[in-house]
Structure 1
Amino acid sequence: MPASLRTVRHLLDSGTPRVLVSDLDGVLRVFDQGLWAELDAELGVDHGSSFRAMLGHPYLEEVTRGRGTHARWRELAVEHLVAAGAEPAGAGRAVDRWADTPATVDEGVLGLLDEVRAGGVPVFVFTNGTDRVPAELAQLGLDAVVGAHGEHLINSADLGHAKPDREAFERAHRRIEHQLSQERGGDVRADRGRGEPVHLRPGEVLFLDDSSRHVDGARAFGWQAVLHPSGAA
């Protein structure tokens, strides 16, 4: 088990955190990082071109803030690859292959989240995501984690702000309080009164993410935060 997950267990055992929030990409789901080199080789473009066209494209910032779509992002990625020297049809196939290659669920992280939920601590997933995230999570069978209707999914594309923006953490915190209030506080310690609003101090939220920038942003807001090694599975 990675040290990050042991740290999460230790902090939860201390009783201070009342909610656990996990990142998605690089933590709960991981991707084959070797795919980038394969795509570059197939397209005959410089090393790193595929990554820059997709995950490095500036339009992604708009998509994760709800001001753009996954579909348009893919179109722009194809244009970027063509500008880098790829043949148009090949560029389209490469983007489709990247977008449609399934992720792998990190069973260690999933097991921890399931254990925490079973112990009565609410679990949320907070991702800098696109409008396609709910469908992707359903495909991975993660409904038990985020809820059948995504009640415990916090997607930056819905918030209008993305990590590490302070506003993203503020809105995520309010979303968590609202959801737990909707659930009437029944599973949240110190809020036993049915129907009472749930109020959380920032320090009562524990956050796990593979980005040091996101961890720093969470800590600046006041959440407890643990850095997870990306793709630890």
Structure 2
Amino acid sequence: MLASLRAVRHLLDSGTARVLVSDLDGVLRVFDQGLWDELDAELGVDTGSSFRAILGHPYLDQVTRGRGTHARWRELAVEHLVAAGAAPGAARHSVDRWADTPATVDEDVLALLEDTRAAGTPVFVFTNGTDRVPAELAQLGLEAVVGAHGEHLINSADLGHAKPDLEAFGRAHKKIEHHVGQERGEHGRADRERGEPLHLRTDEVLFLDDSPRHVAGARAFGWQAVLHPSGTTGD
């Protein structure tokens, strides 16, 4: 088991965290990083062009904040590749191939999330995602992790802010408080009877992410955070 997952288990066992939050891309689901070189070679463009056109496109910041769509992002990626020298049809094919290439679920991370929830600790997934995330998770069979109706999924596209913005962590924290107050504990029920929301201290949330910037943002907000090694920085 990776040191990051051992660290999370240790912190959970110590009782310092009441909630576990995991990133999605690069943590729970992973992608084949060799695909970028394949796409560049097929298109006959400079190395790194496909990555810059897709995950490096500035429009992605709008998509992950709910101000743009996955479909429009793909269109702009095609335009970027055409400008880089790719033929239009080949560019569209490559972007479609990237979008339709299935991810792989990290079984160690999945086991950690499942074991944590089974032990009584609420678990959430927090992603800088797009409007397509719910369908993608259903395709991977992860409904049990995020809930049948996505109640344990925190998607930046729904929040209007994305990691590492402090506002994103603030809104995510409020959503967690709401669900934990509804679903778990005598404390949550007592608070509801008094008409008060559950108060969850920021340091009672433990966060796992593969981005140093996102981990730094979480810590600045007050969450405990563990950096997870990954081959992707797409989320």
Fold shared by both chains (TM-score > 0.5) = yes
Query: C-alpha root-mean-square deviation of aligned residues, in Å?
Result: 1.3
Distance in 2, matches of 1:134 and 1:182, equals 22
Letter in 2 for 1:127: T
Letter in 2 for 1:124: F
Q: Specify the SS of the correspondent of 2:217.
A: helix
Shift of 1:194: 7.7
* TM-score for the superposition, normalised by structure 1: 0.96
1:79 equivalent in structure 2: 79
Structure 1, gaps ≥5 residues long = none
Shift of 1:231: 4.3
1:163 equivalent in structure 2: 163
Are 1:230 and 2:230 counterparts? yes
2:129 equivalent in structure 1: 129
* TM-score for the superposition, normalised by structure 2: 0.95
Distance in 2, matches of 1:176 and 1:231, equals 28
1:193 equivalent in structure 2: 190
Q: Specify the SS of the correspondent of 1:27.
A: coil
Distance in 2, matches of 1:41 and 1:58, equals 23
Shift of 1:108: 0.3
Distance in 2, matches of 1:191 and 1:95, equals 46
Shift of 1:16: 1.1
Distance in 1, matches of 2:190 and 2:13, equals 24
Distance in 1, matches of 2:213 and 2:191, equals 38
Percent identity for Structure 1 against Structure 2: 82
Shift of 1:182: 2.5
1:176 equivalent in structure 2: 176
After superposition, the C-alpha distances for 1:169-224 in whole angstroms (9 at most, x for unaligned) are: 000000101112222x33x7x54638453210000000000000000000000000
Please show how residues 1-233 of structure 1 align to structure 2 within 5 Å.
1-183=1-183, 185-186=184-185, 190-191=187-188, 193=190, 195=192, 197-231=197-231
Distance in 2, matches of 1:162 and 1:14, equals 30
After superposition, the C-alpha distances for 1:40-71 in whole angstroms (9 at most, x for unaligned) are: 00000000000000000000000000000000
- After the TM superposition, list the runs of 4 or more consecutive aligned residues in structure 1 that deviate by more than 4 angstroms: none
Structure 2, gaps ≥5 residues long = none
Letter in 2 for 1:10: H
Q: Specify the SS of the correspondent of 1:193.
A: helix
Count of residue pairs brought into register by the alignment: 229
Distance in 1, matches of 2:105 and 2:209, equals 15
Distance in 2, matches of 1:179 and 1:126, equals 14
